[in-house]
A and B are shown apart, each in its own frame.
Chain A
């Protein structure tokens, strides 16, 4: 993942292509968001504006009841901070994945589109990624996210339920396609994934622990598993195995 093909420069077109499955997956999620926002009493334009400015699923869903009930702004800010804190980890990781020549302003642009899925695909590439590739990668998911919200908000009956349901698994299929091939070649990576999955399942299925918000659970799993990986299998060892 970090050694081979360091000199390949990923193009805008490659980014666009990699963005297609993300965009398709986003359609169904943002469709649901649009429907829910309108059902809770928000105007269509507000639902679309939220999607176009936030570009995050969990945070947007969590924000809806706060807007509708007129919660304090501080509560809104804290809720978004907690749910989205994982992005700080992802941006930190992505900062090491971008070509050195990408300047600060460009980094600030890329940051806006650093969603779970875009981060996942970008870090799954070999070597460094270029500005052009990142722009391509963000384009289709952004359009999918905004238009899905609009369609969901305007016409909740447009996509048959069975199609929406099936599209729900797209994102996970993509995640697996990213993590399984490296895990096949690298024992350490496999162990870290299994550990993270185990912690995640424990938090989901055990009483008391399942009260922890999903945003926090992902942060806990990530920190524990990656720290253990860094301690037990420092990077040269990981590469030797790979």
Chain B
């Protein structure tokens, strides 16, 4: 590999950066089209929904801890808790479930 590693990393980083940078540098002015505005209004929700499901089911070591964490996250989100609270509560729930599952295996 040797020196080639630098070149590979340069290509990776360069392409990734350009994809992110060009739209931000090009579209500096506010876009007035109602259609584009509406599209952009919905976009984050669509992206995050698609990234969360079904990936969340396999986010932890077992489907059960993932489901438990998911349920807690949904309940707390419905109560409009902040990001850190929801994220940590989901992790803690998943951790508890996995810990209990191991404990039960030992018995």
State the A residues within 8 Å of B (CB).
1-2, 17-18, 20-21, 24-25, 41-43, 46, 49-50, 53-56, 59-60, 63, 66-68, 70, 73, 76-77, 80-81, 84-96, 98, 100, 104, 107-108, 110-112, 114, 116, 119-121, 123-124, 161-163, 165-184, 188-189, 192-197, 199-201, 204-205, 217-218, 221-222, 224-227, 229-230, 233-236, 238
Contacts and interface: CB of A to CB of B under 8 A. Distances in A.
Given A91-B24, A111-B24, A111-B25, A18 B83 contact: yes
27 contacts: A21-B84, A21-B87, A63-B8, A73-B11, A80-B12, A88-B23, A90-B20, A91-B20, A94-B24, A107-B25, A110-B24, A116-B47, A120-B48, A163-B95, A169-B60, A172-B69, A175-B51, A175-B52, A176-B74, A179-B44, A180-B78, A181-B80, A182-B45, A195-B46, A205-B54, A226-B46, A235-B38
B21 A80 contact: no
Given A162-B98, A183-B45, A226-B39, A174 B83 contact: yes
Given A92-B40, A166-B94, A181-B80, A196 B30 contact: no
B85 to A, nearest CB: 8
B54 A204 contact: yes
Nearest to A190: B45
Interface of B: 1, 4-5, 7-9, 11-13, 15-17, 19-28, 30-31, 34-56, 59-61, 65-66, 69-70, 72-74, 76-78, 80-92, 94-95, 98-99, 102
Given A192-B42, A230-B35, A234-B34, 11 more contacts: A17-B84, A21-B88, A95-B24, A96-B27, A112-B20, A120-B47, A162-B95, A172-B73, A180-B77, A197-B50, A225-B42
B17 A112 contact: yes
A200 B54 contact: yes
A107 B28 contact: yes
Given A100-B30, A177-B87, A226 B12 contact: no
Contacts of B82: 177
Contact of A161 (B61, B65, B91): B61
Contacts of B86: 173-174, 176-177
A19 B103 CA distance: 34
Contacts of A88: 19-20, 22-23
Centre residue among A68, A95, A107, A195 by max chain B CB count within 10 A:
A95
Given A67-B8, A170-B87, A59 B16 contact: yes
A176 B23 contact: no
A77 B34 CA distance: 35
A77 B40 CA distance: 27
A188 B46 CA distance: 12
B99 to A, nearest CB: 7
A81 B92 CA distance: 36
Contacts of B16: 54-56, 59, 80, 84, 87
A60 B11 CA distance: 12
Contacts of B69: 166, 169, 172-173
Contacts of A112: 17, 20-21
